[in-house]
Amino acid sequence: MRAKIIFGLILMLFIVVFTLQNSVSVPVKFFAWKHEMPVALIIVISLAIGVILGLLYSFTRKKPEQTNTVDSPLT
């Protein structure tokens, strides 16, 4: 339990340092849409979109049919 708390605190520290180092706003152009956002926010949004697309793909993939593995008595 203590290791999880320490790992979580270290991860939060890395996230804070990453955010502070990448807080510069950059212009983002997508078709006719133009907006300025911090680099860290762009990376987090890209990560979230990737996770959502990956989950959607994994849920829609056809799973192989399971075969009956129950042994029947030989007669």
* Residue 9: predicted pLDDT: 93
Q: Considering the entire predicted model, what is its pTM?
A: 0.59
The conformation of residue 22, written as its DSSP 8-state character, comes to T
Q: Are 44 and 19 in contact (CB under 8 A)?
A: no
Which tens digit of pLDDT belongs to each residue from 3-54?
A: 889 999 999 999 889 888 888 899 988 888 898 998 888 888 898 999 999 9
Where do the structural domains in the chain lie, given as residue ranges?
Answer: 2-58
Token pair in block for residue 23? 């807080």
pLDDT in the model for residue 75: 60
Q: What pLDDT was estimated at residue 22?
A: 85
pLDDT tens across 46-71, in order?
989 999 999 998 888 777 666 666 66
